[in-house]
Amino acid sequence: MEIDVSEQKDFTIIKFNKHSIFGTEGVEFQKSVLNSLNKGIHSIVIDLSKVEYITSWGIGILVHAFTTTIKRDSKYSLVGVSKQVREILSKVKLDHIFHITELS
């Protein structure tokens, strides 16, 4: 499986288990986001700690999940973002849109 989902009481962590996100993970990823939101969870955390590269399609699935989450009055954040992925997000100005934090 390319994605692990860990539901906690107040939040869900969705972790990508691969080094690159090409966008082919979109259906599985969006289902994970929607399932959590439909259960009443109001905080979605995307763990990118294993990801070293992301394509424009991969960025697209992150943006789609972000807009879905925000439209449901929920929080969306990225954790474990590598330097390479952060640079890509910075080039398309998403580092100012997404809430990005370090792993704790």
Q: What is the CA radius of gyration of the chain?
A: 12
pTM of this prediction exceeds 0.85: yes
d(CA 76, CA 104): 16
For 40, phi and psi rounded to 5 degrees?
90, 10
What per-residue confidence (pLDDT) applies to 3?
93
pLDDT tens string 5-48: 999 888 999 999 999 998 888 899 999 999 999 999 999 999 99
93: CATH: 3.30.750.24
* 22-40 core/surface letters (b: 16 or more CB in 10 A; e: else): ebebbeebeebbeebbeee
Give the number of other Cβ atoms within 10 Å of residue 53's Cβ.
14
pLDDT of residue 104: 62
45 strand-pairing partners: 13, 77
* Residue 103 confidence class, pLDDT cut points 50, 70, 90: confident
Instruction: Count the domains in the chain.
Output: 1
What is the reported pLDDT for 34? 96
